[in-house]
Amino acid sequence: MFKKILIANRGEIACRIIKTARRMGIATVAVYSDADARAPFVQMADEAVHIGPSPAAQSYLIADKIIAACKQTGAEAVHPGYGFLSERTSFAEALAKENIAFIGPPVNAIAAMGDKIESKKLAMAAGVNVVPGFVGEIDDTEHAVRISEEIGYPVMMKASAGGGGKGMRLAYNEQDVREGFEATKREGLNSFGDDRVFIEKFILNPRHIEIQILGDQHGNILYLNERECSIQRRHQKVVEEAPSPFVTPKMRKAMGEQCVALSRAVGYHSAGTVELIVSGADPSGESFYFLEMNTRLQVEHPVTECITGIDLVEQMIRVAAGEKLAMTQDDIKIDGWAIENRVYAEDPYRGFLPSTGRLTRYRPPVAGWAGDIRGVDGVRVDDGVMDGGEVSMFYDPMIAKLITWGETRDEAADLQIAALDRFEIEGLGHNIDFVSAIMQHPRFRSGELTTGFIAEEYPDGFQGAPADAELIKSLAAIAGFVATAEADRARHVDGQLGDTLDPPARWQVAIGAAVHEIEMVDGDMHVDGAHFDLSMEYDPGDRLIEAEIGEEELAVKISKTRTGFHLTTRGATHVARVLPGHIAHLAMHMIQKIPPDLSKFLICPMPGLLTTLHVNVGDKVEAGQPLAVVEAMKMENILRAEKSGTVKLINAQAGDSLAVDAVILEME
């Protein structure tokens, strides 16, 4: 077994690998860029080596720097995590030349399956079903248009070396191809150093299913069941679960055996994932197609670990050290259900725009994973951030992964909701409300999933999870309780209410259109004249309240406003206006300020680089016309005109770095 390994990655996956290595008694080496100098993974590792500036192209993507760090520290092997160099054949070859073990698959398997075009050819030769499409080099945009028309719309354009949702464009017509083909090439080149693109038919009502593969260097290859990854946004996975609520035992066996056969054909060993697409229009559920093989560990691997009890990182290390797998296919079981939500630094209330910046407060519901695959009471957090840390524009915007395990799918989903309520993040936007809303959504609960779930269920954007009357009533009671506690505290601070004046016993709490009368009588809560079973404690300055309402627990994040509180729970923030009962009627007549009309401005929705400006002063534009392109988090974002008009003023030029809400141009 290795004595020391180097992790050629960063963030949560570096932390996760270090923890398993530590449990195995293996010393670890971290490598880090300028942006990660104070990151948790650097502090966790036994040694750390600085490898360059913040941009990945100048640090994490330079193989020579990784190899130099191995020589400097005496690391015998390298775990690449996912992304960066994990699927680069040149990196694995360079390590082999230096007699450094690569904790991953053999070079020939990476070459065969890491290239999406070549992998499709191999899959076809192996008799695996593949999605209809064009497998070969595409010359230019005109060639892409001809291919798309031959296949039939809609089609998907993909960067050959792409992954993680980058370098992908869905085209419903010729205009989409013309707008998206060159952008797909650029994203592929910028993110993966490869601008080749292929085009395939987009399967309608698709489900995204993937099979986890694990093999050793002695010819043993197993499939570790499936994961459902259908809930995606911009082709990037948001929610994953294992097993799938759709896959039957017959399907699972057919998929697994086909994926093992494909892996065997390329001499695969280590962990890997074969991604499949299943047509939801097929009532039999047996029409599945090969999409690609990821020759590395997947972001969503924890859900497989939870239902199988197998530490995939440990197995990868053991396989790389030459050990045989200690289990057979018959040993692979499904125990319970696991769900993973990716907590991203993005603002779902503003079209999921990236939200980089400093984490002024970071409190996960449980401490970062310390070795128990199923976490604490079924809740596991894989993270790589801390209070005061920064989510940088240079890397992926994921803050953490929240994984829950339960005996049933509903139990795992309920644990997600409760844990998300207790997840405290301040300083930047995040998607906690959004993923909580998904966990509560009736369609998610029914298991009727497709990759179009988010677009179909939130066509007008996300405005928070809906709340029923009982939840609003509970929040009103909590607001009344807190208001009483705050007033009682004020009475004892500098005599603000006088020595003998008691705090108000009655409050009127308005949340949206609902107004509730709250009264405290001898410490007993009444809502609208009826007893309300509320048990909680509150200290001024608390940001998270744990309340018991009857036999139910409710965690609520709270912040003060001028007229009451913001109460955040169950996927939404509710504005509670709280006034003493005898003057509450005055607040009902307060004039609300009407927000200004900003439609004449083109406003930068995120921090990023203005790469293209399509118009000049005096140009007439139509609603929906592309005006500019802003690049953020390695993704190109097309900004379009909200309405027709004439360009009056331009405030930025291509090449400018823009802050969020910067005005790019103004219309007459």
* Tens digit of each residue's pLDDT (9 = 90 or more) over 559-614: 999 999 999 999 999 999 999 865 544 444 444 455 677 788 999 887 888 999 99
Cis peptide preceding 397, ω within 30 of 0: no
Q: Is the pLDDT of residue 347 over 80?
A: yes
Res. 237 pLDDT band, cuts 50 70 90: very high
The answer, as to whether pTM is greater than 0.75, is yes
Q: DSSP characters for 240-300?
A: EEES-SS--HHHHHHHHHHHHHHHHHTT--EEEEEEEEEETT-TTS--EEEEEEE-S--TT
Instruction: Round to whole Å and give the CA distance between 203 and 291.
Output: 11
- Which residue, 452, 243, 416, 447, is CA-closest to 343? 416
The structural domains of the chain, ordered by start, are 4-103 (3.40.50.20), 132-201 (3.30.1490.20), 207-335 (3.30.470.20), 336-462 (3.30.470.20), 469-587 (3.30.700.30), 601-667 (2.40.50.100)
Q: What is the pLDDT of residue 118?
A: 80
- Helices 174-192 & 141-151 angle (0-180, nearest 10): 120
Averaged confidence pLDDT in the chain:
90
The model's pLDDT over 411-460, given as tens digits with 9 standing for 90+, comes to 999 999 999 999 999 999 999 999 999 999 999 999 999 999 999 999 99
Average pLDDT over residues 231-240: 91
Burial state string for 618-628 with b = 16 or more CB within 10 A and e = fewer than 16: eeebeeeeebb
Q: DSSP characters for 34-76?
A: GGGTT-HHHHHSSEEEEEE-SSGGGTTT-HHHHHHHHHHHT--
Q: Over pLDDT 90: what percentage of the chain?
A: 71
- The most confident of the ranges 103-112, 153-162, 231-240 is 103-112
- Provide φ and ψ at 200, rounded to 5°: -140, 160
CB contact set of 419 (below 8 Å; sequence gap of 6+):
365, 366, 379, 402, 404
Q: What is the pLDDT of residue 371?
A: 56
Mark whether 631 is an active-site residue: no
CA dihedral 569, 207, 172, 289 (to 10 degrees): 160
CA distances from 268 to 226, 239, 293, 351 (A): 18, 28, 11, 40
Instruction: Round to whole Å and give the CA distance between 453 and 148.
Output: 25
Q: Is the pLDDT of residue 314 over 90?
A: yes
Question: Active site residue: 76, 240, 292, 636, which one?
Answer: 292
Q: Could you tell me which residue, 287 or 30, shows the higher pLDDT?
A: 30
Res. 284 pLDDT band, cuts 50 70 90: low
Task: Identify whether the C-beta of residue 55 lies closer than 8 Å to the C-beta of residue 76.
Answer: no
Q: Is the pLDDT of residue 308 over 80?
A: yes
Res. 163 pLDDT band, cuts 50 70 90: low
Res. 461 pLDDT band, cuts 50 70 90: very high
Cα 446 off chain centre by: 22
CB contact set of 651 (below 8 Å; sequence gap of 6+):
662, 663, 664, 665, 666
Q: Is the pLDDT of residue 296 over 90?
A: yes
Q: What is the pLDDT of residue 588?
A: 46
The helix (run of H) or strand (run of E) holding residue 453 is helix 453-457
Cα 460 off chain centre by: 21
CB contact set of 475 (below 8 Å; sequence gap of 6+):
467, 511, 556, 567, 569, 574, 576
Instruction: Round to whole Å and give the CA distance between 481 and 405.
Output: 34
Instruction: Round to whole Å and give the CA distance between 623 and 644.
Output: 5
Q: What is the pLDDT of residue 502?
A: 52
Q: Could you tell me which residue, 514 or 589, shows the higher pLDDT?
A: 514
Q: What is the pLDDT of residue 494?
A: 52
Instruction: Round to whole Å and give the CA distance between 330 and 308.
Output: 12
CB atoms within 10 A of CB 512: 11
Task: Identify whether the C-beta of residue 216 lies closer than 8 Å to the C-beta of residue 435.
Answer: no
Per-residue DSSP letter, 130 = B
- The most confident of the ranges 278-282, 449-453, 505-509, 642-646 is 449-453
- Ranges 129-143, 373-387, 530-544: which has the least confidence: 129-143
Q: Is the pLDDT of residue 266 over 90?
A: yes
Q: What is the pLDDT of residue 349?
A: 92
Res. 495 pLDDT band, cuts 50 70 90: low
Q: What is the pLDDT of residue 136?
A: 75
Instruction: Round to whole Å and give the CA distance between 449 and 344.
Output: 21
Residue 292, CB-side half-sphere exposure with 13 Å CA sphere: 23
